[in-house]
Structure 1
Amino acid sequence: MGVVLQVYIPSSADKPESGPPKQCSHKNLLPAPVVLTSVHELDLFRCFRPVLAHVQLLWELMLLGEPLLVLAPSPAVSSEMVLALTSCLQPLKFCCDYRPYFTVHDSEFKEFTTRTQAPPSVVLGVTNPFFIKTLQHWPHVLRIGEPKMPGDLPKQIKLKKPSRLKTLDTKPGLYTAHTTYLHRDKALLRRLLRGLQKKRPSDVQTALLRQHLLELTQGFIIPLEHYMASLMPLPKSITPWKTPPQIHPFRQDDFLRSLERSGPQLTCLLKGDWLGLYRRFFKSPHFDGWYRQRHKEMAQKLEALHLEAICEANLEIWMQDKSEVEVVDLVLKLRERLVRAQGHQLPVKEATLKRARLYIETVVGSLPKDLQVVLCPP
């Protein structure tokens, strides 16, 4: 066939990447392979052309996990817009539901269109104008018109109140009552429009737009990361023969107070109500997903540090006054952590794993023969 594809299927632990294709390091292959960060590289600028003036507002809606209906002229436009919206939070993992192309025949149709409960946190891409009537109670609706020619200056859709939604003849626009917490970056829009006038390549425009969104998300997340790191117990508090200390609880008020000295203003030039944005973010699925993942990583790190502390301790001294029950308990716990570490669930060095195996052999060898048979069956 003449073409070789080497594919890596990412796992849930992988962090999303963005950016242009990367050159592979295999110098002996001609032509040199190109590594794509995903199978389908979205042309973010082309997707956001009609909504460039409202990219920051849409970013906030995505960050806060707000329900958004995207009504597009075709399934392709609908799908690309939804995927572009869900990708604009990178490197923050998108933890809400999203449907690039949703129809009345989908099994969740009744669930999404019911008025007996609040709309779910989902980005819904549709083409049927019927949804305008069915989902009139949704707080945010993005109506996209027919795409323009690539060389044309994009006509920006207008921001409109949800009350102006009409059943079938709804004009293109972003129908929302959401007031942005952050001031809009007008310089970005000027740079993008200037690039369009100068016929700058679309991939360069996309890189500018994605870099802006990346810096915006990172500026928002970095204070959370710093505060979360402060909740980790100090290494000196981890002793080999005691249960590892607990991770300190995340206190929202303490975090908000910390923003005065280490807030997003240190890394992001945008002004606005950052406190209000964080307060709303705490109620979103994205905060819950981010916190759970970070807490899990910290717990694994804590467990790994405890395992290292055990492996660096003097085992013979510890065993001198311990009963067989305590020794067997140590063996079982070490084995459990060894299995987890070997399954890449714990960030442990290979040298530590070797010491742990040696410890297990030493401990088991000190026990009576009957217990050795139980712990190490032939």
Structure 2
Amino acid sequence: MADVKKFFTKKTLIGLGLGQFLSILITSTGFTSSELAKKGINAPTSQSFLNYVFLAIIYGSIMLYQKKALKAKWYYYVILGLVDVEANFLVVKAYQYTSITSVMLLDCWSIPSVMILTWVFLKTKYRFKKITGVVVCLAGLVMVVFSDVHAGDRAGGSNPRIGDLLVIAGSTLYAISNVSEEFLVKNADRVELMSMLGLFGAIISAIQISILERNELRSIHWTAGAALPFVGFSVAMFLFYSLVPVLLKVNGSTMLNLSLLTSDMWAVLIRIFAYHEKVDWMYFTAFGAVVIGLIIYSWGEKDVVQNSADVADEDAERSKRFDEETSLGNCNPETVTGSSKTGEGSKC
């Protein structure tokens, strides 16, 4: 009972619940991208452009109202914006060549990438429980690979090999983006991160659109069937980007990417209830495995937090000793000697 109470903490429940809401948002962006690809619309950068504009306007207005100075260097946000724009471009572009399930499955490549990057750059320590949770989550996806339904869905697309390579490249960039956002949201400010990412993301997207997609946009017949998926994609992405920093600050980038694994499963549930399609039983087994993996990963959260707290305490103690030594070094030696026993005279 004590272990159960430790698990059902506010931090864990927020992480699991918010993670699944973000997973549903990613599923919706996948469906809208797939629908646009089916209509012959090939404008991946343009799809993400409105999202960056929304971020720049809304969070930029808040930042201007607060009149706060930047806590991080502006060129960090330029690099982050470039990486994020190209990650979105590559993954959305992949829908032109392969199926929605393949994209969501191969997107899990970001998980080992994130773990390596956080271990190297953020000094995150993953204990046995964490690694076990990740392995169980990935095992759930392996079950999907062996499902007959998935095998049939994976065959879709004009050139699955190119699509798969695009997803893997995009997932690597997503990992870099997520780890960078985790660092910035913990060391700078969430509003600053969103506004600056939106600003530079919009500028970079606009330049890329003018070079690569200007003719494509002119050829699109802007009917409701084409406009609605565009708007739906932008709204879902805006909500996703707004909530991701919250999960990154509370649970970290690995938890975010593990949570997004269930997007493939949510896509299956939507196909069942919205399109009345039949799916293989292994999908449900895989979904259960991913959920169990998330629970195992979250259960080990306290160990890492405690470890971080210990490191923080050690740093604080070192800083305190350093300050004391510095102040003593600035004192007059004779005064210190004279007052060491009697406690009289000037004190350092």
* TM-score grouping bracket, smaller chain normalisation: under 0.3
TM-score for both structures, normalised by structure 2:
0.24
Higher RCO (CA < 8 A, seq sep 6+): 2
Higher alpha-carbon Rg: 1
Which has the larger share of strand? 1
Which has the larger share of helix? 2
TM-score for both structures, normalised by structure 1:
0.22
